[in-house]
Structure 1
Amino acid sequence: MKLWGIDLGGTKIECAVLDSENDLAVVIRKRLPTESDKGYEHILSQIKKLIDLVSEEIGERPLKIGFATPGVSEPDTNLMKNSNTTCLNGKPMQKDLEDILGIPVKLANDANCFALAEALMGAGKDYPDAEVVFGVIMGTGVGGGLVVNKKIIGGHHGIGGEWGHNILEENGQACYCGKKGCVEQVISGPALERFYERESGEKLSLKTILEKYHAGTDGHATSTIDRLLEYYGRAISTLINVLDPGLIVIGGGVGNIDLLYNEGYERIKKYIFNNGVITTPILKPNLGDSAGVFGAALL
């Protein structure tokens, strides 16, 4: 049986079909714009339209389908929450999708789908003995996904892996979640750019800040990147202290910064509860922006 997945993004919806559970070869990938500004019902219709198009193209329809979603379906109420595509919040999305598609639907947070895909199809293929895999997202926001023995751990409240909303800096920047100083407000791309602007009075992209850091000509860039590395080390150490994963994979734009994998790795040693010894593989992802949709199919 073919495995169908949908990655529901803020700007695009992508469908992927994998050949079978035993052969994860990609049969087809196809995208449509989300057009989330037109509302919840329109998003549902775009999803159905995309599945219809793919079904026509490959000559068969799905028997069940997985979805990578922004936010998560609350286990107690089955209503969506914590989604930055805000029209989804409070909606019984799983039920509505099952009604409109006429097949069983499984939802998981997009960070969890990223972690699952990397564990089974990506970086994790080189670490088959890693029972616990944690997928970190460091980009516009900061999030995470947890996979144990090849299964997503969604958790009692559906927030398993939500690493980005632990407090990292006491009395730091206010976060949309209601707290101050969350991981997301310290080491996400926008947070680093805001810190540089506060320090220097100049608004620059993270890419430019990083270039100035490497040039060694801008003290504010130096303090911005040093802040990233120090807080990254502290934040990752908490993951290792609690979960001790066999593999950590870091996705998102900030995760492309090579310093995280050498100097940042050294900073973890200051905080880890293991006499300063760390052997955890921490890697860039292998699947790029495919991880979300592949993870959805693997659900």
Structure 2
Amino acid sequence: MSIKIGIDLGGTKIEAIAISEQGETLFRQRTQTPQGDYHATLNSITMLVNTAEQACKKRAEHIGIGIPGTLSPTTGLIKNANSTCLIDKRLDTDLEERLNRPIHIANDADCFALSEAIDGGAAGYKSVFGIILGTGVGAGIVINKNLLSGPNRICGEWGHNPLPWLDNSDYPERICYCGKQDCIETFLSGPGFSSHFPANSKLSTTQIWEQARHGDIESQNYCNLYLEQLSKALASIINILDPEVIVLGGGLSNIDEIYEQVPDRLIKYIFSASTIPTKALTPIVKAKYGDSSGVRGAAWL
């Protein structure tokens, strides 16, 4: 029996998993990410891989790594990583030298989409758009269980397109850290949602939704707006890609109202939606593996 090893390299923790060819979890362990120390990060990953193989008494032919960034297609160096010590480093080749085998690196949202497409909430569908609604908004595209990449290594970067069909309820404009304005991420991420609550309070996303469910009118109106903005953003993906399924992960994916209301709202924005009698035909499902999807997707790389 062979094994697959994946590493989820985050800003605060590094997680390793070993799975069987059938997706059974054989080993799982976390350690803190060494802050600001690239070589210590390499050491931690090496240690986790060695520990996983010792526990499973098997050697993985490849190692997959998910990162909150990407490899530059022109330089081969890490870019856009929230662990800044990784930026401009050759993470894949440095680890290949230490571990003496091929290293496959992908964005953490891509790993999430791959995990859910292979044996998660989107298993059985040919085309999958996997979205993380969390601190940021990321996405990945999987076709026939193969992750799409693209020449710019930004396939699925849905969160940094402008929110479509803006109206007065979506203003004032929102400036994104990427330098553009009104990016989808500034509306649909956790910080984007909570920081623009009209009451200008310090309520969390969860607290705002709880207030709405208990009858607070201002909270209800704001949550209603979020569902409408999410519907607009998802409709733009359906109009372009028309995936067989959309799977959601991240903290905001636990909002039940998304699955109850967004399919009905989509029909206002999908092209030729007037031919659809009740709701959009694209299912929207919750991730099966939750925050474990990233590390599982890295293993499937």
* Same fold (TM > 0.5): yes
Work out whether 1:136 is the aligned partner of 2:135. Answer: no
**Structure 1 residue 10: Cα displacement:** 1.6
Return the letter of the residue paired with 1:207: T
Q: How far, CA to CA, are the matches of 2:287 and 2:272 in structure 1?
A: 26
Q: 2:152 aligns with which of 152, 157, 177?
A: 157
Unaligned 5+ segments in structure 1 are none
Match in the other structure for 1:235: 233
2:96–2:102 contact (8 Å) kept in structure 1 = yes
Instruction: Tell me the equivalent position of 1:292.
Output: 294
Write the distance in 1 (CA, Å) between the matches of 2:172 and 2:95: 41
Please give the TM-score of this superposition, normalised by the length of structure 2.
Answer: 0.92
CA contact (8 A) 1:7 1:69 kept: yes
Question: SS of the counterpart of 2:281?
Answer: coil
Structure 1 residue 61: Cα displacement: 3.2
* 1:117-266 superposed matches below 5 A: 117-125=115-123, 128=124, 130-168=125-163, 172-196=173-197, 199-219=198-218, 221-266=219-264
The Cα shift of 1:201 comes to: 3.0
Instruction: Give the Cα separation in 2 of the matches to 1:201 and 1:153.
Output: 40
1:64 aligns to what? 62
Per-residue displacement from partner, 1:47-102 (whole Å, max 9, x unpaired)? 11111222222233332211111111122221111222222222111111112222
Secondary structure of 1:18's aligned partner:
strand
**Which of the numbers 271, 282, 285 marks the counterpart of 1:283?**
285
CA distance in 2, matches of 1:99, 1:124: 35
Deviation by residue 1:129-188 (Cα, 9 ceiling, x = unmatched): x22101011011101010011100011100001111101158722111111111110111
User: What corresponds to 2:20 in structure 1?
Assistant: 19
Using a 3 Å threshold, how does the CA distance of structure 1 residues 32 and 215 change in structure 2: closer, same or farther? same
Q: 1:23-38 alignment to 2 at 5 Å?
A: 23-35=22-34, 37-38=35-36
- Counterparts of 1:121 and 1:232 in 2: how far apart (Å)? 26
d(CA) in 2 for partners of 1:203, 1:7: 31
Structure 2 runs not aligned, ≥5 long = none
Q: Which amino acid aligns with 1:118?
A: E
Identity of aligned residues (%): 42
- State the secondary structure of the residue aligned to 1:38: coil
Partner SS, residue 173 of structure 1: coil
> Could you list the runs of 4 or more consecutive aligned residues of structure 1 that deviate by over 6 angstroms after TM superposition?
none
Q: Which one of the candidate residues 75, 78, 97 is aligned to 1:77?
A: 75
Determine if contact 2:36/2:85 at 8 Å carries over to the other structure. no
SS in 2 for 1:32: strand
Q: In the aligned structure 2, how far is the partner of 1:40 from the partner of 1:171? A: 40
Q: How far apart in 2 are the matches of 1:14 and 1:214?
A: 35
Task: Name the amino acid aligned to 2:295.
Answer: V
Question: Hey, what's the Cα distance between the residues in 1 that align with 2:264 and 2:84?
Answer: 38
1:275 & 1:201 partners in 2: Cα distance? 37
Q: Secondary structure at the match of 2:196?
A: helix
- Contact (CA 8 Å) 1:195, 1:224: kept in 2 or not? no
Query: In structure 2, how many angstroms separate the alpha carbons of the residues matched to 1:176 and 1:15?
Result: 30
Would you say how many aligned residue pairs link Structure 1 and Structure 2? 290
Match of 1:42 in 2: 40
**Partner letter of residue 139 of structure 1?**
G
User: Could you tell me how far apart the structure 1 residues matched to 2:177 and 2:40 are?
Assistant: 26
* Shift, 1:260, TM fit: 0.9
Correspondence for 1:89:
87
